[in-house]
């Protein structure tokens, strides 16, 4: 009988239907049990269509059955718990014409690199072939414009609609495009709500496969406005490994669940630092907390991102790492996260 590790290696040959990546890379293998009479493979499938699940099960059985001395194969499927019913919000959601999916990138607290993740995730999705728009929903601390590059204020159409700036094949808007660097935005909630509604529905986004929203940190009026105004395909929660940040992961996840938005998963940013000189891995903020909390909350863990100078420099120089160096290990990690996000969004019922 083969060992679980040998079976896992064989399952790396099983591709997720419609993707070039395998089911192991997608994190679908929950457990492998080897007994005298059979091999049992336990899979976790998030929001996949029945025909997709059937294809994966069939391919797993074929791959494992072909291994030497395997008498029988059983495949068990575990799916995440169903989302709670949508809370009454008193607002009517609208569609954005020609925009297929809308994904929100959120964090329970500031300082975790949420905007860096949002920008590079958008670029990774663009690299995977999607037509992407990027909206900076953080009115008080907008940073997307700096990372993407601010050339000039957006133009307006004859109908007074905003034309997003274009860079790296992505159209984007941000409050920072309408104010100078020294201006403080001192607005009450209704003004913030009005601006976010303007960015959602009065921008010439064009035909998009996905609009990525960089939400402000926390769980307040701005986040509630977004979920009230437009239907989200899902939310991505960004955290760092230390306990102080992880305490807010639950708030971010519960925020999406409260308004019936699927949680696409958790990203652990600043997961570790790899020294260039000695090659030693330093876990400055601890490590593994994002994966642990994702498991406890029953949501996917999308991946971990290390601390690297190039990622910070890319944002500071308006040349994000995924765009400037797509072969960098961190860019490859963003590509893997983007692939997992695409899989969940496209396979949602």
Indicate which CATH number applies to the domain containing 48: 3.30.300.130
pLDDT tens per residue across span 136-145: 988 777 888 8
The answer to whether 145 and 136 are in contact (CB under 8 A) is: yes
- Residue 177 resides in a domain: yes
- Check pLDDT > 60 for residue 181: no
Among 233, 199, 241, which Cα is nearest to 216's? 199
261: containing domain:
99-346
Domain check: are 127 and 222 in the same one? yes
Average pLDDT over residues 176-184: 64
Average pLDDT over residues 299-317: 89
Give the distance, in angstroms, between the CA of residue 279 and the centroid of all CA atoms in the same chain: 29
Q: What was the pLDDT predicted at 165?
A: 93
| Helix/strand/coil for 219 | coil
- Kindly report the pTM of this predicted structure: 0.71
- Residue 94 resides in a domain: no
Q: What is the distance between the alpha carbons of residues 212 and 222, in angstroms, rounded to a whole number?
A: 15
Q: Cα angle vertex 304, ends 299, 310, to 5°?
A: 145
Domain check: are 234 and 119 in the same one? yes
Q: What is the distance between the alpha carbons of residues 235 and 255, in angstroms, rounded to a whole number?
A: 10
Cβ neighbours around 170 below 10 Å, total: 21
The answer to whether 29 and 11 are in contact (CB under 8 A) is: yes
265: left (phi over 0), alpha (psi -120 to 50) or beta: left
The answer to whether 226 and 256 are in contact (CB under 8 A) is: no
- Residue 86 resides in a domain: no
- Residue 317 resides in a domain: yes
Average pLDDT over residues 43-56: 76
Window from 34-43, 98-107, 172-181 with minimum mean pLDDT: 172-181
Strand partners of residue 208: 99
Give the distance, in angstroms, between the CA of residue 139 and the centroid of all CA atoms in the same chain: 21
Domain check: are 289 and 327 in the same one? yes
Domain check: are 216 and 286 in the same one? yes
Q: How many domains does the chain have?
A: 2
Domain check: are 312 and 277 in the same one? yes
Q: What was the pLDDT predicted at 141?
A: 73
């Amino acid at each position: 009988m083969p060992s679980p590790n040998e079976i896992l290696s064989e399952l790396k040959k099983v591709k997720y239907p419609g993707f070039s990546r395998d089911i192991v890379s997608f994190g679908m293998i929950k457990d492998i049990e080897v007994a005298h009479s059979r091999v049992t493979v336990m899979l976790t499938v998030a929001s996949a269509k029945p025909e997709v699940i059937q294809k994966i099960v069939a391919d797993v059985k074929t791959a494992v059955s072909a291994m030497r001395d395997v008498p029988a194969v059983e495949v068990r499927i575990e799916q995440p718990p169903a989302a709670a019913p949508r809370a009454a919000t008193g607002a009517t959601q609208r569609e954005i014409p020609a925009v297929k999916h809308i994904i929100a990138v959120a964090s329970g607290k500031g300082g975790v690199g949420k905007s860096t993740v949002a920008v590079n995730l958008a670029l990774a999705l663009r690299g995977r072939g999607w037509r992407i728009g990027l909206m900076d929903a953080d009115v008080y601390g907008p940073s997307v414009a700096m990372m993407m590059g601010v050339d000039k204020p957006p133009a307006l159409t004859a109908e007074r609609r905003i034309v997003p700036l274009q860079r790296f094949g992505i159209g984007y808007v941000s409050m920072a495009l309408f104010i100078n660097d020294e201006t403080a935005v001192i607005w009450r909630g209704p003004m913030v709500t009005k601006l976010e509604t303007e960015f959602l529905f009065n921008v010439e986004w064009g035909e998009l496969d996905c609009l990525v929203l960089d939400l402000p940190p926390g769980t307040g009026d701005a986040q509630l406005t977004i979920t009230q105004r437009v239907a989200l395909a899902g939310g991505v929660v960004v955290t760092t490994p230390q306990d102080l940040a992880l305490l807010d992961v639950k708030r971010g996840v519960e925020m999406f669940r409260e308004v019936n938005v699927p949680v696409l998963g958790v990203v652990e940013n600043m997961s570790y630092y790899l020294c260039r000189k000695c090659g030693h891995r330093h876990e400055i903020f601890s490590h593994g907390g994002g994966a642990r909390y994702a498991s406890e909350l029953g949501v996917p863990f999308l991946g971990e991102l290390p601390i690297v100078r190039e990622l910070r420099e890319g944002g500071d120089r308006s040349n994000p790492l995924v765009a400037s160096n797509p072969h960098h290990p961190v860019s490859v990690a963003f590509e893997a996260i983007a692939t997992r996000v695409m899989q969940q969004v496209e396979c949602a019922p």
